[in-house]
Structure 1
Amino acid sequence: MQALPDEVADLERLTRVLVAVAWDSAHAAPRGVTFPQVRLLVVLDSLGCTPCSRLAEAMGVNASSVTRLADKLEAHGYVARGVDEHRRTVVTVEVTPAGREVVAGVVDRRHRALAELLAELPAERRATVSTAVGDLLSAAEAAPGVPTAGPGRL
């Protein structure tokens, strides 16, 4: 394997930390709610009431995967199905108040972990990190080979 430039290696290590934070935050969900189900809830919460096909597209999965995940979440009262008022054949799904509590717990745990990480830096370095993150996000928007939307929020 070819050696990576230091900057790329540093970003690779940071990616592992951020994925670990996202993965760990999913453990704030109630017992029995899987990581893919948490992901569906987080993505759906950001979309609001939406057709299942749109949710599948936002998550980067096929519609049958959304159907299976939604079946289990609906059985626990975390999502509710409906129909589009303009197209009665289109099935919609939305997060229930109980589902929003799950999302809030997951996101809160993630925010606490990120705040703890930033708290380890002196204040002047936090501002530098914030600027660098903004620069990286802008660069990601401009780089044609970098997927910025990804398969839905984690």
Structure 2
Amino acid sequence: METGGEEFAEQVDALLAATRVLAGVALRSLDVLDGAVSLPQFRMLAVLAGLGCARSAWVARALGLDASTVTRLADRLVTTGHVVRGSDPRHRSAVTLELTPSGQRLVSAISEWRQRELSRIVAALPLAARAQLTSVLDQLVMAAGEGYGLMAEPALPL
């Protein structure tokens, strides 16, 4: 694996620039909601959209956070009516979290905005670059390996 030289440095710089674009899309998508949720809160909503009703410990694992952080995030999202707490009937001491219809609408609104914005960006690429985009990004995801993103197959890109 060649990691030296000017060409490699240019490739890494291009990836850093692309990362800034994607992070910008993620952050700007939250503006659609006029501050209704923060990025960490949205990450939790996105995980719950993918998992459905889930134990808070599973949500913490999916987010890579400790249980107390998930509890604080959930407290705010319960207060705003985006998440509801429950208990697992098989393990009554286990707390579950689930999106409310309001939380589902938030996830859908952000997902739709991101889809439109990314479509706009991809449409601005020359056709030759667009033809290579899927292959190159798939290879990047494979090279990164497990552990990047929310889950192995996240409900939404963040």
Query: Which interval holds the TM-score relative to the shorter structure?
Result: 0.7 to 0.9
Q: Which runs of 5+ in 2 are unaligned?
A: 1-5
Measured after TM superposition, the shift of residue 151 of structure 1 is: 4.9
| Residue of structure 2 equivalent to 1:103 | 107
- 2:147 and 2:127 map into 1 onto residues whose CA distance is 28
* Match among 92, 98, 101 for residue 96 of structure 2: 92
* Match among 111, 114, 128 for residue 124 of structure 1: 128
| Residue of structure 2 equivalent to 1:138 | 142
- 1:148 and 1:57 map into 2 onto residues whose CA distance is 11
Measured after TM superposition, the shift of residue 18 of structure 1 is: 0.7
Corresponding letter in the other structure for 1:85: P
- 2:45 and 2:131 map into 1 onto residues whose CA distance is 32
- 1:22 and 1:33 map into 2 onto residues whose CA distance is 13
| 2:96 partner SS | strand
State percent identity of aligned pairs.
Answer: 39
| Residue of structure 1 equivalent to 2:72 | 68
Contact 2:47 2:150 in 1 (8 A): no
| Residue of structure 1 equivalent to 2:17 | 13
| 2:120 partner SS | helix
Q: TM-score, normalised by structure 1?
A: 0.86
Corresponding letter in the other structure for 2:26: A
Measured after TM superposition, the shift of residue 136 of structure 1 is: 1.4
Q: TM-score, normalised by structure 2?
A: 0.84
Q: Which runs of 5+ in 1 are unaligned?
A: 142-146
| Structure 1 residues 10 and 29, CA gap change in structure 2 (3 angstroms) | same
Correspondence 1:52 to 2:56: yes
| Residue of structure 1 equivalent to 2:119 | 115
- 2:120 and 2:86 map into 1 onto residues whose CA distance is 40
- 2:109 and 2:26 map into 1 onto residues whose CA distance is 12
Correspondence 1:149 to 2:148: yes
Alpha-carbon RMSD across the aligned residues, in angstroms, is 1.8
Correspondence 1:78 to 2:82: yes
Correspondence 1:34 to 2:38: yes
- 1:30 and 1:10 map into 2 onto residues whose CA distance is 31
- 1:93 and 1:30 map into 2 onto residues whose CA distance is 24
How many pairs align? 147
